[in-house]
C-alpha cells in the first residue's frame, strides 16, 4: 500500500476512528485502526466489536493494500506534524510515513487479524436532516440512565411509524420524548429499536451537515453521513411502556417565561442540599411560581416569578437539576408546567409546541 493525502484529513479521520477502538488485552488488534486503500479509495476503519466506523478521505492511491496501526500512537504522531501532506506506505506489517521534514516507521499488526467489518442487510431505511437529529438526540439524552444495570434504560428508544420518528429516554426519575415529522420517513408499520448511550454520544460527535441516512435490522443500526459510515449493535431488552405513565389530563397549568425560570432555578440551586431538593409552589391567587431551597451549611433562598396559571394551588418537591435540564431544552420563549397535585409528576413543554415533552417525578419522603 502507498497513498498520498492531506495530513489534516487523515488526522481528523483517525481521531474519529480512535474513539471506536477498544483497550482489549485479549485482542490487541482492537486497539488499532485499519488504513485500507482499495479501488482508488482511502478508508480508515476501526471497531470495538460493539461499534464500527469507516471514514473515506480524499487522496491519491499509488498502490492498493492495507495496514493496521495502533490508533493512539498514530493519532499522537499526526497531531505533532506541521506539514500539509503525507505519504503512507506499508512495509510488511509496519507503516512508513514520509513528509517534507520527517520520516517515521510505526510498527503495526498483522492486518489479516483485523476483524471483518460488519455487513448489514438493512430491513428499514429512512433519513433525517442532521440538525434535526442532533437537536432531537441532545434533548432526550439528558434523561438516559447512567447505570448499566438495566441496559434498556441506558439507551435511547427510536419509534418509527409512517412519517414520524419519536426519540425517548428515561432513567425512571424523568422522561424525555421528542417527535420529528419528516417527508423522508415512510414506515408502513411501527418499528422500534434501542441505541446504547455510548453509541448515541458517538453519533452526536460524528454528525455533520446534510441528511443522515439510517438503516437497521434486528441487531444493528447503520448510519451514513457524507464520508462516514457508523455501525452499532442495538440494545436487547424491552423499553418501559412509558405512554401509560404520561398523564392525559391536568388540574393545574402554569405558563412562565423560560429565561426567568432558568435564572431562578440556577440561583435556587446554590442553596440546595446533597439531594438537590427544591420546593416549587404554584399559587393561582398570586399567579406565581415560587422556588425555595435551604442548606444548613450555606443558608436559605426564596424567589418568585409571575405566571399565567389555571387551577388550584400546590407545593411539590423536585430535584432542581432535573427541572433545569428539561426547561433548558425548550425552544420556545414560554414554558408550560402541567401537574395535578403534590404527588403527581410534572410535565414540561413549550407553549404551543407538543413536539417535545419532559416528565419529572416528584421527590417523596425527603
Q: For the domain that residue 278 is a member of, what is the CATH number?
A: 3.10.150.10
pLDDT score for 143: 97
Number of domains, the chain? 3
Q: Is residue 142 part of a domain?
A: yes
pLDDT of the chain along its 366 residues, tens only? Answer: 999 999 999 999 999 999 999 988 889 999 999 999 998 899 999 999 999 999 999 999 999 999 999 999 999 999 999 999 999 999 989 999 999 999 999 999 999 999 988 777 756 678 888 999 999 999 999 999 999 899 999 999 999 988 899 999 999 999 999 999 988 787 778 889 999 999 999 999 998 888 899 888 888 999 998 899 999 999 999 999 999 889 989 999 999 999 999 999 999 999 999 999 999 999 999 999 999 999 999 999 999 999 999 998 999 999 999 999 999 999 999 999 999 999 999 999 999 999 999 999 999 866
Say yes or no: 176 and 147 in one domain: yes
Query: Does one domain contain both 200 and 162?
Result: yes
What is d(CA 13, CA 10) in angstroms, rounded to the nearest whole number?
5
Write down which residue in 185, 210, 241 finishes a domain. Answer: 241
3-state class (DSSP) for residue 213: strand
Q: Which residues pair with 4 in a beta bridge?
A: 60, 87
Other C-beta atoms closer than 10 Å to the C-beta of 35 total: 27
265 and 314 together in one domain: yes
- For residue 140, what is its C-alpha cell? 432526550
Res 133: pLDDT: 93
Phi, psi of 350 (to 5 degrees): -80, 150
Q: What are the beta bridge partners of residue 32? A: 70
CB count in 10 Å sphere of residue 352:
8
Picking from 191, 218, 241, the residue at the C-terminal end of a domain is 241
Same domain, 237 and 294: no
How many whole angstroms from its chain centre is CA 51? 14
CA distance 348 to 214: 30
* 87 and 139 housed in the same domain: no
Res 122: pLDDT: 59
Do 265 and 331 lie in one domain? The reply is: yes
3 state DSSP class of 107: coil
**11 and 45: one domain?**
yes
The reported pLDDT for the residue numbered 39 is 87
Instruction: Tell whether 90 and 157 lie within a shared domain.
Output: no
- Are 41 and 56 contacting, i.e. CB atoms less than 8 angstroms apart? yes
Q: Based on the domain organization, do 129 and 229 belong to the same domain?
A: yes
Residue 119 included in any domain: no
Domain containing 35 equals 2-113
Does residue 366 sit within a domain?
no
| Pair 138, 237 in one domain | yes
Amino acid at each position: 500500500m502507498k497513498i498520498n493525502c492531506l495530513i489534516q484529513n487523515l488526522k481528523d479521520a483517525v481521531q474519529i476512528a480512535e474513539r471506536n477502538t477498544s483497550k482489549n488485552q485479549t485482542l490487541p488488534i482492537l486497539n488499532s485502526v485499519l488504513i485500507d486503500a482499495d479501488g482508488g479509495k482511502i478508508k480508515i476503519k476501526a471497531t470495538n466489536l460493539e461499534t464500527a466506523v469507516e471514514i473515506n478521505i480524499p487522496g491519491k492511491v499509488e498502490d492498493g493494500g492495507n495496514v493496521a496501526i495502533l490508533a493512539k500512537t498514530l493519532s499522537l504522531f499526526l497531531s505533532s506534524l506541521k506539514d500539509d501532506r503525507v505519504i503512507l506506505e506499508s512495509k510488511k506489517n509496519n507503516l512508513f510515513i514520509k513528509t517534507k521534514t520527517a520520516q517515521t516507521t510505526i510498527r503495526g499488526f498483522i492486518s489479516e487479524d483485523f476483524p471483518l467489518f460488519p455487513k448489514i442487510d438493512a430491513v428499514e431505511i429512512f433519513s433525517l436532516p442532521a440538525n434535526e437529529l442532533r437537536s432531537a438526540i441532545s434533548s432526550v439524552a439528558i434523561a438516559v440512565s447512567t447505570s448499566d444495570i438495566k441496559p434498556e434504560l441506558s439507551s435511547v428508544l427510536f419509534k418509527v411509524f409512517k412519517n414520524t420518528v419519536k426519540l425517548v429516554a428515561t432513567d425512571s426519575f424523568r422522561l424525555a420524548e421528542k417527535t420529528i415529522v419528516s417527508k423522508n420517513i415512510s414506515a408502513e408499520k411501527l418499528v422500534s429499536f434501542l441505541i446504547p448511550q455510548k453509541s448515541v454520544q458517538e453519533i452526536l460527535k460524528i454528525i455533520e451537515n446534510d441528511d443522515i441516512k439510517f438503516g437497521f435490522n434486528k441487531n444493528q443500526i447503520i448510519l451514513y453521513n457524507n464520508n462516514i459510515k457508523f455501525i452499532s449493535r442495538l440494545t436487547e431488552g424491552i423499553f418501559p411502556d412509558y405512554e401509560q405513565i404520561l398523564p392525559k389530563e391536568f388540574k393545574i397549568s402554569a405558563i412562565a417565561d423560560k429565561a426567568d425560570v432558568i435564572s431562578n432555578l440556577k440561583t435556587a440551586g446554590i442553596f440546595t442540599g446533597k439531594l438537590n431538593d427544591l420546593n416549587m409552589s404554584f399559587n393561582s391567587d398570586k399567579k406565581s411560581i415560587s422556588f425555595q431551597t435551604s442548606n444548613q451549611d450555606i443558608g436559605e433562598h426564596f424567589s418568585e416569578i409571575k405566571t399565567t396559571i389555571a387551577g388550584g394551588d400546590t407545593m411539590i418537591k423536585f430535584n432542581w437539576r432535573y427541572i433545569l435540564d428539561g426547561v433548558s431544552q425548550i425552544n420556545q420563549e414560554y414554558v408550560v408546567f402541567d401537574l395535578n397535585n403534590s404527588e403527581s409528576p410534572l410535565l414540561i413543554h413549550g407553549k404551543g409546541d407538543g413536539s417535545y415533552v419532559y416528565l419529572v417525578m416528584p421527590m417523596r419522603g425527603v
